[in-house]
Amino acid sequence: APAGAAAPPVRSTVLRAAMDGSGVDTLNPFLAFFNGALETFGMVYPSLNSLDPSGAPGPYLATKWEPSADRLTWTFTIREGLKWSDGKPITAEDAAWTLNLIMTDAVAGTANGSLVSNFEKVTAEGPATLVIKTKAPQASVPYVSHPMSGIPIVPKHVWEPLAKNLKDAKNDVFPLVGYGPWTLTEYKQEQYAKFTANKEFVLGPPKFDNLVLQSFKSGDAAVAALRSGQIDYKAGVNPTQFKALQADPKIAAVRTVGNGWMGLEINHNARTRSGKKIGTGHPALGDPALRKAIALATDKQTLVTKVIDGVGRLGHGYLPPAWPQWFWTPAQPTPYDPAQANRVLDEAGYTKGADGVRTDPKSGRPLAFRFGIHSDDAADAAISGYVVGWMKEIGIKLTIQSLSMTALNSDLAKGDWDLLMDAWTTGPDPTYLLGIQSCGTLPKDDGTGGNTDSFFCDAAFDELFKKQLTTFDQGERAKVIGEMQEILYAANVNQIYYYADGLDVARKDTVTGLTLGKPDADGVYPSQTAFWSYLNAAPATATTAAKAEGSGSGMTWVAGGIALVVVLGGVLVWRRRAGGADRE
C-alpha cells in the first residue's frame, strides 16, 4: 500500500460503506453488469472522462477531447506522467488497447460492446494522443468512458496475456493493478472489498486512508450496522428507512435527484420488425384513447406520497432529472382526472357492462388486462394495488401477475402481456434508453433479435433518434431529445409515474463531505456517484471513529458475558433442582 508504509503508527482512517445492494457479480470489467461491480471499477480503473456535478463530461485521463471537422474523428489528449499502481506509466496505448479489445473481441464486448459499436478505429498516436474514428458521427463519444456507467481503461500489460481467455479471467490478483482514487487490496465476494487510498490521485487525493465496502443483502441489516457504528455510509436506502433515519440526530440523510423512473408499459401493438403481429396482447390497448384514459385515471401524486413517502418527483418525461441537460417536462401535463377518463372511454365507445367492466367495441372483448409486476420489487407490488383500484373506477379490470424478472422479460419479448410495471435508470448518455424505443429493436420474424422495451415504433421518433446521435451541440441535442420525449409522452405507451430520489445516509460523527453540489430549494442534491462520494468524504474526527468502534465491541462482550453467565447460572440451578433430590 502506498499510504503510510514508512510512517510511524499514525492511526489510519477508514471509510466504511455499504456496498451497492446488487453486489459485485465479477471483477472482470469486461463481463460485469452489476452496479456494485461498476462502482468498484470506477474507483480502481481510470476512464477517459469524468462527470461533473451537472452530468457533463469532465477531464480525467483525458485533459482535452475534440471532434474533427467531419465529426468522424475524436482526438483525446491523454495526461502524461500518471502511473498504474504497479509503477508502469499510463499511456494512450492502454486506452486504445482496451477499446480495441472491446470492439474486436466478442467476449470483451459482453458488458460494453454497444458503447463502441459505432467505432471504426481507435489508435494511440503517441503516449498522449488517442484518436477515435467513428463510422458515423457520434455526439456521445465523451460519454463512452467515464466512471460508473462507461468503459474503464485497463492496463494493457496486465490484461494482454489474459485476453486470450477473457471469459475465465477472474481478475483476482491483489492489489489489483489499476489507477484511480483507490486501490483494491482485498476482496471477498459477497462480503467486502478493501481499498487503500491513492494519495497521488490526479483529481485530488481521497481524504480517508482506506475504504471498505461491505456487502449487505438486507437493507435493514445495513441500516442497523450504520446505526450501531459498524459502517459509516450507505447509499440507496428506501423511503421508510430514510424517514426513520432523518429523525436520527447522529445520522445525516440526504436526498439526491433520481436517475431513474418507475412507470407503466402498455402493450399497444406487439409486432415484429416487418410488422407481423405477435403475442397475446389485448387489441384494445392499441387505441390511443384508451391509453390516454389510463393515464388520466392514474393519480401519480398519490403514488409519490404513498409509495415513496414523498421522496421523489412526479414523472412525466422519459429521461430522469438526474441529467438536467436532457430533462424534459411537458407543457401540458396530463392531469389526474378520472371523470375525464371515463368520458374519453365513453366517447370511444367502450360501454360499461353490468359488472362495471367496459367492453371493447371492436373486438367485443371486455377490458380485462393482465398486469405484470416484478415479484421481487416491493414498489411494484405497492403500486399495483393502487393502479388496479384506479382502473376499476374507469371500468378496466386488471389481474395482477407477479412474475420473476426472467419470466416477465421473457413474456415481454414474446409480446405475451398487456400491462407491465417497468423501471429504468440511466447514465448521462441517454442513447441506449432512447434506443430501445426505436423500431430497430423490434424482434425479427423468427422471434429473435429483439431488444425492445415496449414494442414502441414510430417513424418520427426514429428520425429524431438518428438526428440526436449526430448533433454535437449539447443544447441542440437536448432539444431533439426533448422532442423525442414529447412523442413518447403523447403515445402513452410508457407512462412514467415518478422519479424516486436517491437516498443516502451517513454517520455524522465519522464522516463528512460525502455529497457533491448544492441542494435545490427542496433540499435535494444533484445526482451522486460513488466515485465522487468516496473521493470527497472526509473523516469527521479520527478519534470518534475509533471510539465508536471500540465501545461497540466492548458493549458486545459485556452483554455476551452477562448472557452467558445467566444461561450457565440457570442451567446450574436447574441441575441442582433436577438432580439434587435423592429419589427416583
Partner 1 sequence: MKRSGLWGIGVLAAFALLALTAPLHIGDDQLDVVRVDGPRLAPPSAAYPLGTDLAGRSILHLVIWGSRESLSIGLIATALTVLLGTAVGLLAGHYQGRIGQALMHVTDWFIALPSLPLAISLSAVLGQGAASITIAIAVTSWTATARLVRAQTLAVEARPFIERARALGAGNRQVMLRHVLPNVMPLVLVSSTLTVASAILSEATLTFLGLGDPTSVTWGSMLQTAFSGGAVTAGAWWYLMPPGLAILLVVLGFTLTGRAVEHLLNPRMVQHA
Partner 2 sequence: MSRYLGKKVAAALVSFLVTLVIGFVIFSLMPADPVRTLTRGRPTSEEQLAQIRVQLGLDEPVWYRFLTFAGDTLRGELGFSWQFQQSVSSLVAERLGPTLLLMGAAAVISIALGLWLGVHSGWRHGTLFDKVASGASLTLWSVPTFWLGMILLVLFSGWFPSGGMSDPSLAATGLEHVLDVARHLVLPALTMVLVVFAQYVTVMRASVIDELGSPYLLTARAKGLTDADVRRKHAVPNALLPSVTMIFMHLGTLVTGAITVEAVYSWPGLGYLTYEALKIPDLPLLQGTFIIFSASVILMNLLADLAYRFLDPRVRVQ
Partner 3 sequence: MLEVRDLRVAYGGTPAVRGVSFTLEPGRTLGVAGESGCGKSTMALGLLRLLPATAQVSGEVIFKGENLLTARWARLRAVRWSAASVVFQGAMSALNPVRTIGEQLCEPILLHDKTTHKQARQRAAELMESVGLPPERLRGYPHEFSGGQRQRIMIAMALACRPDLIIADEPTTALDVMVQAQIMDLLSGLVRESGIAVIMISHDLSVLAQLCDTLAIMYGGRIVEQGPARELIGDPRHPYTRALAGAFPAIGDPASRRNPMGLAGDPPRGDLGAGCAFAPRCGDAGDACRTGEVVLWPSGPARTAACVRVLEGEVHA
> Of the listed pieces 244-252, 287-295, 322-330, 576-584, which binds partner 2 according to CB under 8 A?
576-584
With binding defined as CB under 8 A, does residue 413 bind partner 2? yes
Q: d(Cα 464, Cα 467) in Å, to the nearest integer?
A: 5
- Choose among partner 3, partner 2, partner 1, none what residue 409 binds, the Cβ cut-off being 5 to 8 Å by kind: partner 2
Write the DSSP symbol of residue 89. B
Residues that bind partner 3 (CB under 8 A): 582-584
Within positions 245 to 274, which residues make up the interface with partner 1, using CB under 8 A?
A: 245
Site membership for partner 1, residue 86 (CB under 8 A): no
Give the three cell numbers for residue 473: 451541440
Is residue 290 part of the contact set for partner 1 (CB under 8 A)?
Answer: no
User: 38 with 148: CB under 8 angstroms?
Assistant: yes
Work out the widest C-alpha separation in the chain, in whole angstroms: 104
On whether the CB atoms of residues 501 and 241 are closer than 8 A, the answer is: no
Q: In the complex, what is the shortest distance from the CB of residue 140 to partner 1, in angstroms, rounded to a whole number?
A: 36
Residue 92 CB, shortest distance to partner 2, in Å, is: 24
Residue 561 CB, shortest distance to partner 3, in Å, is: 39
Instruction: Give me the 315-354 binding string for partner 1, x by CB under 8 A, dash otherwise.
Output: ----------------------------------------
Q: Which of 12, 26, 325, 375 binds partner 1 (CB under 8 A)?
A: 375
Cβ proximity to partner 2, 15 vs 90, nearer residue? 15
CA distance 19 to 505: 13
The β-bridge relationship of strands 192-197 and 182-188 is: antiparallel
Residues 2-21 that bind partner 2 (CB under 8 A): 14, 16
The interface region with partner 1, picked from 186-194, 343-351, 400-408, 435-443 by CB under 8 A, is 400-408
Binding segment for partner 2 (CB under 8 A), chosen from 83-91, 292-300, 431-439, 532-540, is 431-439
> Which of residues 335, 356, 361, 389 is near partner 1 by CB under 8 A?
389
Q: Which of partner 2, partner 1, partner 3, none does residue 77 bind (CB under 5 to 8 Å by kind)? A: none
Which residue, among 536, 500, 519, 523, has the nearest Cα to 236 in the 3D structure?
A: 500
- Residues 188-227 interacting with partner 1 (rule: CB under 8 A): 218-220, 223-224
**Closest CA relative to residue 223, chosen from 380, 21, 54, 413:** 21
With a CB cutoff of 8 Å and minimum separation 6, the contacts of 94 are: 153, 154, 155, 156
| 22 lies in the binding site for partner 1 (CB under 8 A) | no
- CA dist 472 and 122 (Å) reads 20
DSSP alpha helix (H) spans, 180-231: 219-227
Interaction of residue 240 with partner 2, rule CB under 8 A: no
Rounded to the nearest 5 percent, the helix, strand and coil shares of the chain are 35, 20, 45
| Residue 91 DSSP one-character state | -
* Angle of the 378-393 helix axis to the 338-347 helix axis, nearest 10: 60
The terminus-to-terminus CA distance of the chain in angstroms comes to 69
The footprint of partner 1 (CB under 8 A) covers 218-220, 223-224, 237-241, 243-245, 306, 309, 373, 375-376, 378, 380-382, 384-386, 388-390, 400, 402-404, 407
